[in-house]
């Protein structure tokens, strides 16, 4: 729950659509909101959060209840 290093944003490395990440974490009654954009040069903290996000996504996608959901509609093609 300490301070994280997200580096400095660099405008020339934008993407379409813009990549934003937002976390809300509650530990021992303390609530913390973390928001960052994808930057040109990743820091240790952004890489760790990206790894955690991938791990959580794999757990969710592997869940039987998730597999029963209808296919998504819309988005970017």
Q: What is the mean pLDDT of residues 35-53?
A: 78
Tokens 């913390």 appear where? 32
Residue 39, pLDDT score = 59
Query: Which among 68, 19, 72 is positioned nearest to 42, based on CA atoms?
Result: 19
Residue 45, pLDDT score = 84
> In sequence order, what are the residues at sequence separation of 6 or more whose Cβ sits closer than 8 angstroms to the Cβ of residue 43?
5, 6, 7
User: Full-prediction pTM beyond 0.75?
Assistant: no
* Phi, psi angles (nearest 5°) of residue 67: -65, -25
Q: How far is CA 41 from the centre of its chain?
A: 16
Residue 15, pLDDT score = 62
């Amino acid at each position: 729950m300490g301070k994280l290093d997200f580096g400095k944003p660099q405008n020339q490395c934008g993407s379409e659509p813009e990549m934003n990440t937002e976390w809300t974490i509650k530990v021992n009654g303390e609530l913390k909101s973390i928001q960052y954009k994808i930057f040109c040069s990743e820091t240790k903290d952004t890489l760790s959060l990206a790894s955690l996000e991938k791990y959580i996504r794999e757990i969710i996608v592997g869940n039987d209840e998730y597999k029963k959901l209808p296919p998504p509609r819309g988005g970017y093609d």
